[in-house]
Amino acid sequence: MEREVRVRFAPSPTGHLHIGGARSALFNYLLAKREGGAFILRIEDTDQARNVESAKEKLLDSLKWLGLEWDESIDVGGEYGPYSCMERMDIYERYIQQLLAEGKAYYCYMTEEELEAEREAQKARGEMPKYSGRDRDITEAEREAYEAKGLKPVVRFRVPEGQVIRINDAVRGEVSFESDGIGDFVIARKDGIPMYNFAVVVDDHLMKISHVIRGEEHLSNTPRQVMLYQAFGWEPPQFAHASLILNPDRQKMSKRDESIIQFVEQYKELGYLPEALVNFLALLGWSPVGEEEIFSMEELSAQFSLERVSKAPAVFDTDKLAWMNNQYMKKADLDTVVSLALPHLKKAGRVPEDLNEERYEWIKRLIGLYQEQLQYGAEIVDLTELFFKPEIEYNEEAKEILAEEQVPEVLEHLAGELDQLDDFVAANIKAAIKATQKATGHKGKKLFMPIRVAVTGQTHGPELPDAIEVLGKAVVSARLRRLLNQ
């Protein structure tokens, strides 16, 4: 009988949601949705020294923003709670005591200084550093002597000797590890708080997790976890380790890598659409059937399978993400695009925090001019700079265009046509440009390029009549007259 599909994402509250973690969460979510299973969000907060206050809320907010809805967690409860590790200490203690009683774990009193000296000696001999097993078989008398000195022990798992741990990974196939190369590892700290590898096994078993989908960097943890499953006589979940994510230079990514933006919250702040980021992350190491690249969450969950998750590293292509977000921006309604772009105009001091209705409508039209080319909301600040400048500084290319012999005639006639407009809207402006063409005989680039450069300072941009309308009659007339007077 097949197990019900139950998957989990278990972040540590040590900072913002990283794109690698977001991809793991997404893959788990998509599998759960496809199979009609459950997606569990569990908080791995046993590393008290690294936990950051408010990180838990930020993690949840980022996942909600991406559209990942969980079935069980700290906020919605569930049959298998609590869903925060630090609230499960009594559960872990029970299973630690079981391993101790069965001789599968033991107390170790070695100090950090002793352990470090042991590691250095092993390195000097050219050996791979691992715990020597000094306290594996200490007597009760030796233990009492350590206790008398005030030493507090950790609990170590007794790794079986001479075994090969084989893992049937859904992505990587069969992977094997030799137990003799691992060394007895710590499962509980001196303060009794369990280590990650122990807590995750107990939690995944008790929460009936069927599949563990995570990044390749966790593969080295897997033999330790499998040995713990075996020690308890439990069935391990199906493991699936997705490929590494490389930076655009095809180097392994680190959190100090500045070549890409690495945290989900930063993409939200920059004005990306969550649907686009989800679409992009899904294609990092997973390939759909066919050539299509744009998918809704529903389409992704209908297609997703572990068989199509790649072993090969995925490259985080920032240009591809920008292109993909632009595809979503083009299709979004204007109010959505305004909500992504307007905060950046306010932050840049271009518009006040409180906008009256007339000013808001003007800003909305302005942002609408650039909806087709916007890759993300923050770009609006640079793109619209010309609309907030009292005067234009023309670059060399612009000056060359304005120096062409037909330019004074074109601008003089257009200025006259525009002055006569009572209703300064794009349709009438377009007619004024047409009338200028008819009167002067200049057309194509000889007509449109000087007009665009004169009023915007740019050689390309949004539809010219639309841009002129948003600039407004007073600004456009002033710019044309200033140029003609020069």
The catalytic residue positions are 255
Q: How far is CA 160 from CA 45, 50, 176, 181, 426, in A?
A: 29, 31, 15, 11, 79
Q: Which two tokens stand for residue 444?
A: 């194509």
The answer to whether 13 and 59 have CB atoms below 8 angstroms apart is yes
Beta bridge partners of 155: 107, 188
Bridge-based pairing state of the strands 154-157 and 105-108: antiparallel
* CB proximity list for 340: less than 8 A, separation 6 or greater: 271, 272, 273, 329, 376, 377
Is residue 318 within a helix (H) or strand (E), and if so which, with residue range? helix 318-331
Give the residue from 235, 262, 232 showing the smallest Cα distance to 98.
232
Q: Within 10 Å of residue 290's Cβ, how many Cβ atoms?
A: 7
What single-letter DSSP state applies at residue 314? E
**CA angle centred on 315, ends 172 and 311, rounded to 5°:** 10
Burial (0-12, 13-18, 19+ Cβ within 10 Å), 123 = exposed
Burial (0-12, 13-18, 19+ Cβ within 10 Å), 284 = buried
What single-letter DSSP state applies at residue 455? H
What is the C-alpha separation between 17 and 22, in angstroms, rounded?
A: 7
Phi, psi of 156 (to 5 degrees): -110, 145
* CB proximity list for 234: less than 8 A, separation 6 or greater: 201, 205
Q: What is the DSSP string of 126-188?
A: TPPP----TTTT--HHHHHHHHHTTPPPEEEE-PPTT-EEEEEETTTEEEEEEGGGT---EEE
Is residue 338 within a helix (H) or strand (E), and if so which, with residue range? helix 334-347
Report which residue type is found at 346: K
Burial (0-12, 13-18, 19+ Cβ within 10 Å), 105 = buried
